[in-house]
Structure formats: C-alpha cells, structure tokens
Amino acid sequence: MLGSRSIFQNHKLSALDTPNRDFSIKEWLPLKELAADKNILFGASARYNQVISDEQFAALFAQECSLLVPEWELKWSAGDHQLRPSPNEFDFSAADAMLNFAQTHNLLFRGHALIWHESLPRWFQQVVNHQNAANVMKHHIETVVGHYKGRMHSWDVVNEAIEYDPLASQRADGLRRTPWFEFLGPDYIDLAFRIAAKADPDALLVYNDFGIDYNTAMDKAKRRAILGLLKRLKAKGTPIHALGIQAHLRGDSLDFDPKSLRQFLKEVAALDLKILITEMDVNDSKLPADIQRRDRIVAGVYEDYLSVVLDEPAVIAVITWGLSDRYTYLSKFFPRSDHQPVRPLPLDTNLQPKLAWNALARAFQQTHKR
C-alpha cells in the first residue's frame, strides 16, 4: 500500500514539476510597471501594522504595487481591528491610516468587504434580526462607502454569497444561507449593490468569490452558480461592474484546465462585466519540503493560471493576498505538516523576489495590452 502511495506521489510530483522550466524575464522592473505597461493593475493586500510599522516591507510594497487592499481593516471585525465596535460606532482609524499610506505612495485603494457572512462582530448576532437587517446593512454601507467616497478604486460589495460546495446546496441557485440571506432573502445582494452605488457612484462595485479555478465537479458547479447569480443581477439592473475571482490556488492540484477556465471568463465578460483577480496566492502546504522544487511548482501555477486569465481582455487587475511570505494568512490557515514555513507569495520572508515573482513578471510581459 505504502509503495503504491509513494509511486502515486512521485508520479503526481513529476506531473506538477518541470525541473528545467524557464522562468527568465526580459527586463527587471517592478511588477506594477510591468503590469501597467499592459494597462493592468498589480496590487496586494496588507494589514495596518505591516504598512505602518514594518518600514522595510512598506517600501517594497510601494515599489511593487499600484493598489492596496486592507486585509482586515475594512471588514466589520477582523484580527485586532474593529471597524464596527458597536451597532452605533465606526472606527476608521486604521483604514484611514492605510488610505493615507496609499495616497502618500500614489497607490489605488480598494475596499474589502462590505457584506460577508464572516468577520462579523460579536454584537451582530445579538442585535441584527429580520426587522432591522435592511437598516443595519444600509447604515453600514452608507457610512463606510460614504466615508471613502471618491477615494476608492473598487469595493467588494458582497463576498462569497455562493455555497462552498453548490452541489451540496438545497437551493438550485447555490446561495449560501448566510444571516443576510436568512433576514433579507436572495435580494440582499441586489440591495447591497444599490446602496453602495448611491453612496459612491464612482467606485467599481464587485461581487467577490472563490473556488472557480479548477475543472472539478465542485468548481464547475460554483462557476455555474456564480454565472447564474451574475446573469440574474444584470437582468434586474443591479449596479454591479465586476466579478472578483479570489484565486486562492493549490500547488498540488492536477485539475487545472485552461480551456474550461477560459470559457468561464469569456462568459463573465459577455455580461459586460470586468474581472479582477482579487486574492491570488498558491498554497504549497502539500508540496515537498525541498524549497527549490516547491518554488518552481508554485511559480508554474502562477504563470499557467495568469497566462489563461490575462488572455481575457476584461481582466483589469491582479491582486495577491499578501506580497511576501513574511505575511501570509496561509501560515495560520494551511500550515505544512512538516512545520516548514509556507512559501505562497511573490517575495520571500526577506522580501527577496522568488520564482513566483518571475512568473508574475513573465505573465505581464507576455500578455496583450488592454
């Protein structure tokens, strides 16, 4: 049994890894410049302390990125930050400081996420109900979007409204039964977009989700459910402008199928929607310990995925979820069983470019200008 498993593992690894794959690049320029040369935005998420207190990281961030999205500070409640300390309070201090950092370094600023079923403050469950949910949503979106009116590139208005596994859903539309759904019904999504559009007519309004990247039954069902949602929203005139594809990729997947992913992107674009890659990283927790091999496989995933995605002219931005392995949420959420540090992002913990950086650079250099 063990023998066959290790044979499978070896077979799988040789399918994932091309030892002499070329990741050379024509010209070493910051990723934001290589992307901008094709009218694509490159950016990343970061946390308050990373851009305010880690000067070395902040400098690299400003050098490589043209857009900043707070990982925590514009969620209702995340990590050590409470945007919503109580039903009647908003604490914009951290997000304001990050906006100031962005403006100082000429970075665009994007908001994540106005309506989600996660990162809700403790008081939410005690306070929000069928009667007041619409007013709570309206108060939150009007106040937060209004506070940053005219200064945001885009907002993730609704995040992850489709079931993790739509095949397991009792609903044909695959909608998650989130608190917002339970209190307001399926139209909570349309309502959120309409309130946001009124609060800031200039911001790009995005529906953001994950799990559409591979040719698995689950991802194909998720693609169908997201397309169905987008079609329904467009048909009712919802002011939605783009789909955000999180692109939390797996270094160990053998299910990547360029053709079906490309078709999905085409169908989204045909709805007159832009597409943003909003949270890209490559989970290497199931890859071998050997760093050279791991980095090569991760870089191959970045380049293979982006070569497909950037072929779609509607794709206007590539945003990674973190910029350096020094700060990645995967360390906590998907640690390696060998306890080795994970290596999912373009820069290593010492802020040095990895092959993943080359892969992004190559993808930007090889794609067409928008």
Give contact residues for ligand XIL (rule: CB under 6 A): 71, 78-79, 159, 246, 279, 329
Q: For residue 295, what are the contacts with CB-CB under 8 A and spacing of at least 6?
A: 343, 354, 355, 356
Q: Is 163 one of the catalytic residues?
A: no
Beta carbon nearer to ligand XIL, 201 or 335: 335
* Least distance between ligand XIL and beta carbon 335 (Å): 14
- Which residue's CB comes closest to ligand XIL? 329
Backbone angles phi, psi at 91, to 5 degrees: -115, 100
The CA-based angle 92-42-189, given to 5 degrees, is 55
* Least distance between ligand XIL and beta carbon 328 (Å): 8
Q: Are 154 and 204 in contact (CB under 8 A)?
A: yes
Q: Is 312 one of the catalytic residues?
A: no
Alpha helices, DSSP H, located in 166-248 = 179-184, 188-199, 217-235
* Least distance between ligand XIL and beta carbon 362 (Å): 26
How far apart, in Å, do the first and last CA atoms of the chain sit?
Answer: 52
Beta carbon nearer to ligand XIL, 112 or 296: 112
Catalytic residue, from 64, 71, 73, 279: name it.
279
Catalytic residue, from 64, 71, 73, 160: name it.
160
Q: Are 278 and 245 in contact (CB under 8 A)?
A: yes
Beta carbon nearer to ligand XIL, 74 or 298: 74
> Of 17, 62, 20, 26, which Cα lies nearest the Cα of 364?
26
Spatial separation of the C-alpha atoms in residues 66 and 40, rounded to whole Å: 10
> Helix (H, G, I), strand (E, B), or coil: what is residue 202?
coil
* Least distance between ligand XIL and beta carbon 8 (Å): 30
**Pairing, β 67-70 against β 41-46:** parallel
Beta carbon nearer to ligand XIL, 188 or 207: 207
Q: Which amino acid is at 335?
A: P
Beta carbon nearer to ligand XIL, 115 or 356: 115
Beta carbon nearer to ligand XIL, 45 or 253: 45
Instruction: Output the CA torsion 153→157→159→161 (10° steps).
Output: -150
* Least distance between ligand XIL and beta carbon 370 (Å): 25
Residues assigned a catalytic role: 160, 279
